Amino acid sequence: MRMTRQRLTPCLWFDTEAEEAANFYVSIFANSRIKHISRYGNAGREVHGKAPGSVMVVEFEIEGQTFTALNGGPHFKFSEAISFQVMCDTQDEIDRFWNKLSEGGREGQCGWLKDKYGLSWQIVPSALPQMISQARGDQLDRVMGAVMQMKKFDMKMLEQASAG
């Protein structure tokens, strides 16, 4: 029987923190696990500069989505151009993900944050996209005005803005 593999897998480039970051992420999300850890050997050491036996790649899974974390060196850094959206059904979920992921990182506007590794996340109420797409005129202005005022989303305030 042939195993089906995920066609697209995000690869996250770290300097040396791939295993630490993967463990951090799987500790936050349910149904998550470390799948495999690969280590550097002697081959290519003149290029990668990593000690034999040190962690090269960590394959991990969050809610069925596979990720690769690579210890590739200090050459590249994360930017806000790429982020992961975490859709939340309750304020408790928003609070939990926000608090865990922003710990040691930096809070941003409109549900955005950077974790302690510099990776950007959006912690979003699952009702928000529909709330915005169905709003018109003054209602849309109120909802968007509320969104623009927030760092971490407050579902009650968004619902109040939508209701008027």
Helix (H, G, I), strand (E, B) or coil at 134: helix
Q: What CATH architecture is 78-164?
A: Roll (3.10)
* pLDDT mean across residues, the chain: 94
Q: Tokens at residue 110, please?
A: 């409109």
Residue 68's Cα: distance from chain center in Å?
13
pLDDT in tens, 70-80: 999 999 999 99
Q: What is the pLDDT of residues 8-36, one digit of tens each?
A: 999 999 999 999 999 999 999 999 999 99
Residue-wise pLDDT for 127-145, tens only, equals 999 999 998 999 999 999 9
pTM: 0.90
- Find the mean pLDDT for residues 36-65: 92
- Write out pLDDT tens, residues 100-118: 999 999 999 999 999 999 9
Range 7-76 has CATH code 3.40.50.300: no
How far apart CA 72 and CA 153 sit, in angstroms, is 34
| Residue extents of the structural domains in the chain | 7-76, 78-164
pLDDT, residue 3, reads 56
Pairing of strands 32-39, 83-88: unpaired
In 3D space, the residue among 110, 100, 108, 94 whose CA is nearest the CA of residue 148 turns out to be 110
